[in-house]
Amino acid sequence: MERIPDASRQVAEPTGDVVVTTDGHGLVTVRRRRFGPVRTRIARALGVAPDFTIRLDRLGSQAWGLLDGQRTVGEVHAELARRLPDEKDLAARLGKFLGTMVSRNMLRLR
């Protein structure tokens, strides 16, 4: 039986093709191209957005700022727990956030 790897020891870093913007409230928007240039033109002609965009909430925005390719997921969790002591279900929400971002090729774990 194969064990699930312990993500808390892995380092998370943004992929090279994401574009990140921050609004006036400190909330982050992460954008990544879905298609290459030819498919982008076809998608636009069909009314499909050529980019995949995720607007992060307060927790996601704080987490994104900590994912620098140096900290482990465990260190990010500890720092978020320190910064956001009243956040409910922090570990579960962080896990879901990381899973979503990895599945959308916006983050990689190593």
Contact 77, 90 (CB under 8 A): yes
Nearest to 69 by CA among 6, 16, 5: 16
CB 22 within 8 A of CB 28: yes
Beta strand spans in the chain (E): 12-14, 18-22, 28-33, 51-55, 107-109
pLDDT tens track of the chain, all 110 residues? 455 566 788 999 999 889 999 999 999 999 998 888 899 899 899 999 888 899 999 999 999 999 999 999 999 999 999 999 999 999 999 999 999 999 999 999 99
Stated pTM of the model: 0.84
